[in-house]
Structure 1
Amino acid sequence: MIHLIFLSARRPDVDRQDYLRYWRDMHAPLVAGLPGVRRYVQSTVRSVPGHAARYDTVDEIWVDDAAALDALMRGTDSVRSALAGAGNLVDPGQCVRLLATDHVVHAGASIARDESLPKRMTFFRRRSNLSRDDMLRYWRGTHGPLAASVPGLRRYVQSAMLPAAHADACEQGEPRFDGAAQIWFEDDAALQAAVCSPLFRDEANFTDTDAAVTLSIEEEHRIVWPQAA
């Protein structure tokens, strides 16, 4: 499957709660009803004391394959508008649109739709001395098993970015990031212990740590699943 990841930030003059209400109540049904969408998940970015949040929300959409993506992007103006973000409330200059393929490192026990787990998403660029293939090889073959061994980890997915073919949905050409690590934890204590774990220092062996963006994520209790999924 192809995984679309949209990082969105509201305009500076828009109240966060107003933005979230529109995003949940108006934007979600539009995206969930798009043709070819197999799964859609909305997540909010949790505030971290002492750090200004770069983004407000994360939208994740899955379609079956490249043909399904092409069909989606050949849709009407309303389709393209739905993919552009939460109406005119987003700041286009602060949003990131990405295409990815997923590699499940640790599936763990299934997560119920109404289950709320702390989640960490790290978006990174590879080290300048590594090719994309070398980065993927190390990330999947060496780092993946290390990260998956952290106590309290519930699920771990590696999302490798693809060059975007559709400017309407994503940034064209070279993606802003090479990968996104998505890790769910049993509770906040397990997340904090993992962040402090020496195992995570291995990230410096294949990523540009200065360019990484780490988000504390809360998947909405209401995960949107189209009827066809």
Structure 2
Amino acid sequence: MIKLIVFVSRRADLSAQAFQAYWRTRHGPLVRRAAVTGRTVRGYVQGMTALEAYQGSRAPAYDGTAELYFDRHADADAFFGDPEYLEQIHPDESNFADLSRCAFVATSGPEIVCGPEPAGARGVKLIIGVKRHRDLGVAAWREHMRTRHASLVRDHPTSRRYLTGYVQCFAADTAYLDGEPAVDATSELYFPDLATMQAFLDDPAYQAEVFPDGADNADMSRTVFFPTREEAVIPTPAMTGA
């Protein structure tokens, strides 16, 4: 299973509300009803950045994420190369998104650390687009994230208190063929609501024991955090064991 993640930035002339309304009510249905989608896409999830995130002094890194699931790389290529996508779907993207400020990364698919599969998740999802330290090799960094960091997050008392799900998605090997991808992985943390998410992030034990392990292996100047609420345009298939 391949999961393509698009970090979406809205057009500068659109408010967050207008951006979300267009993406949800116009673009989502356009993608869903396209014949090429039915032939190639296994799932499509829009992650709308929580409107509460715009109330602070710093704007969110992105206005949302689009997640597209495919069985094979060939299916992804067929979708993006199809005349229906090129003539109808792609031109509509510029009606709500600033494509020059969007980032794309193909991943090898979700690795579920704990909690429900993405299709069954609810509430708020904190997206962390992680860039590793420049002096760390990809293989060694992945191994640390899959073993040491994943187990630390999964088994920590603060996670058992606040967290409802945790998914890692690593950039596919092919994403490095033309240089460095926008992120090396996403850590996707699910919470019942924003207040619970913030309590987790502010918890002294998380700050002292969990956060440093991730931060010590990440380039924090290039790592992004933003909370989203998911809307499944096309429900994702079951992925246990994927």
TM > 0.5 between the two? yes
Distance 1:53 1:143 in 2: 25
Q: Which segments of 5 or more consecutive residues in structure 1 lack a partner in the other structure?
A: 166-170
Equivalent of 2:129 in 104, 114, 123: 123
Residue pairs, 1:186-197, within 5 angstroms: 186-196=192-202, 197=206
Distance 1:162 1:112 in 2: 21
Equivalent of 2:217 in 168, 188, 206: 206
Alignment pair present for 1:217 and 2:211: no
Distance 1:213 1:55 in 2: 9
Equivalent of 1:155 in 152, 165, 175: 165
8 Å Cα contact 1:194-1:200 kept in structure 2: no
Task: Give 1:189 deviation, angstroms.
Answer: 3.9
Aligned to 1:168: none
Equivalent of 1:54 in 58, 61, 70: 61
Change (3 A) 1:16 1:189: closer
Matched AA of 2:227? S
8 Å Cα contact 1:100-1:162 kept in structure 2: yes
Q: Deviations over 1:91-116 (max 9, x none)?
A: 1221111111221111x246776x74
Q: More deviation in 36-45 or 46-55?
A: 46-55
Distance 2:235 2:113 in 1: 26
**Other structure's SS at 2:127 match:** strand
Aligned to 1:134: 140
8 Å Cα contact 1:203-1:209 kept in structure 2: no
Change (3 A) 1:163 1:96: farther
8 Å Cα contact 1:105-1:144 kept in structure 2: yes
Q: Deviations over 1:32-54 (max 9, x none)?
A: 34131111111111243222123
Distance 2:92 2:105 in 1: 13
**Other structure's SS at 1:209 match:** coil
TM-score (norm 1): 0.84
8 Å Cα contact 2:122-2:190 kept in structure 1: no
Distance 1:226 1:109 in 2: 14
8 Å Cα contact 1:158-1:181 kept in structure 2: yes
Distance 1:228 1:79 in 2: 26
Q: Deviations over 1:109-135 (max 9, x none)?
A: 46776x741211101211122100000
Aligned to 1:104: 112
Distance 1:112 1:66 in 2: 21
Distance 1:59 1:181 in 2: 15
Aligned to 1:67: 74
Matched AA of 2:21? R
Report the RMSD for the aligned CA atoms in angstroms: 2.7
Aligned to 1:37: 41
Task: Give 1:90 deviation, angstroms.
Answer: 1.6
Distance 2:80 2:98 in 1: 22
8 Å Cα contact 1:3-1:100 kept in structure 2: yes
8 Å Cα contact 1:164-1:175 kept in structure 2: no
Q: Deviations over 1:152-192 (max 9, x none)?
A: 21111111112667xxxxx9543111111001013334322
